[in-house]
Amino acid sequence: MSIKFQKVDDYRWLIPREGKMRVPGLVFASESMVEDLRKDKSAEQVVNVATLPGILGYSMAMADMHWGYGFPIGGVAAFDADEGVLSPGGVGYDINCGVRLVRTNLRRVEIAHQLEELSLALHRAVPSGVGSKSHRKLDDRELGQVLEQGAGWAVRNGYGLQADLDVMEEGGCMSGADPSAVSERARERGRPQLGSLGSGNHFCEIGHVAEVYDEQTARAFGLEVGQVTILLHSGSRGFGYQVCDDYLRTMIKASSRYGIELPDRQLCAAPLHSPEAKQYFAAMICAVNFAFANRQMMTHFVREGFERFFGRSSSELGLGLVYDVCHNIAKWEEHQVGGDRKRVCVHRKGATRAFGPGHPDVPARYRHVGQPVIVPGDMGRYSFVLAGTEQAMRESWGSSCHGAGRRMSRKAAFNAARGRSLFRELQDRGIWVRSDSKATVAEEIPEAYKDAAEVVDVIAGAGLARKVARLEPMVVVKG
């Protein structure tokens, strides 16, 4: 399929409505990114999403877009409450994959000579790797509580602070979970994994604030140049994967039953008001809450690891949560549609919420500056902290990019890494990487990703978020 891109400005490209598209496509990208997209199938996925019933406005993709299952990764779409659909392909396999940022009172100069030892301590503290298991296995009763209570369950069981819940998207728990909508296989996979990092692009990273772009917002977030930070990126592990896998079969049948014409079976969907959609949504929320609790428990393990290493309490070390954002999720939200305030179902697949100043869903302490938007990059360069804007609310359903976005497949990255001393290369840059798998590190080489700075510049240039700070890695634990 040959995709037509019409340049709107330096940051926006329109894919005109044609054929069975119900709305146009809108891609946030630079000129060079679009040249790459002309050779990539993710733009075709933008077109395919535009054919789904009840889609509103545009089928969108953020600057970190690349090929995914059903929706492109970086895809955003909102659906009408009466005529729209719910699609697991618009959420993804790793339901509520997300990232959280923790600040500290430590300074980069204090720990620069301890990075090797600190990397070992962090690796021991956080369970990671393929099939990794937590320090605590849940019984079925506890798992049911996690699915309904999310990060609140973890805090009430000694894994963190009540204050953590105040700075999480949804307060760390979405309502509407129904554990009976989850298969026994999903439960089996989830019981031993809560509080573990997993593998692939998931990581725990110690970094530092290298640059501040917006002093007022950085102060509100508790960030300043030279400060040590911690990033945690993980999701719902095998539990969420199984929930997605289970419901894809249900949704394929539902698509046929309700006469939904699909350009791609991976976009299987059911009407939002249907029993199938309601059941998937209730199961998806279980996985969302599992992921919130998962990241909360790992944050507790990181705090314990820092306490042991530095011989000080986490409060003395200032290990405070800045924010926790979701990436793969569908949500009921209120937005302006044609001048009216309407309830719509927003799918964000590899995209993150970016609500602007004054929005009631932004934590009170940040409401005057907008929601923190955390954009992790690759393990060799940098990550960014942004803040949501009113422009995002008007144009992108309050959405932004979620990361750098892959530019090489895992296989291509693995081949490009062949024969290289990757750990030594990164140490030469001042970055200590720990992983149980050399293959994972090979698949995650920095050049496998787009330049996060270019991605963020597009998002900031389009006005979807404001740049607040740049973080640079010092220690990275990979699965």
**What is the spatial distance between Cα 205 and Cα 209, in angstroms, rounded to a whole number?**
13
- State the Cα–Cα distance between residues 304 and 70, nearest whole angstrom: 40
Yes or no: say if 306 and 314 are a contact pair by the CB < 8 Å rule: yes
Q: Is 338 left (phi over 0), alpha (psi -120 to 50) or beta?
A: left
Distance of alpha carbon 196 from alpha carbon 301, whole angstroms: 10
**Distance separating alpha carbons of residues 382 and 366, to the nearest angstrom:** 24
CA–CA gap between residue 40 and residue 476 (Å, rounded): 30
Per the residue annotation, which of 208, 233, 347, 402 is the catalytic one? 402
259 phi-psi bin (left φ>0, alpha ψ -120 to 50, beta other): left
To the query of whether residue 347 is one of the catalytic residues in this protein, the response is no
Buried/exposed code over 456-474 (b: 16+ C-beta within 10 A; e: otherwise): bbbbbebebbbbbbbbbbb
In this structure, what DSSP letter does residue 2 have? P
| Burial (0-12, 13-18, 19+ Cβ within 10 Å), 421 | exposed
Helix (H) or strand (E) holding 373: strand 372-375
Task: Please state, in angstroms and rounded to a whole number, the distance separating the CA atoms of residues 191 and 197.
Answer: 14
Q: Centre a 10 Å sphere on the Cβ of residue 81 and count the other Cβ atoms it contains.
A: 13
**421 Cβ contact list (under 8 Å, min separation 6):** none
Q: What CA–CA distance (Å, rounded) separates 436 from 163?
A: 33
* Active site (catalytic) residues: 402
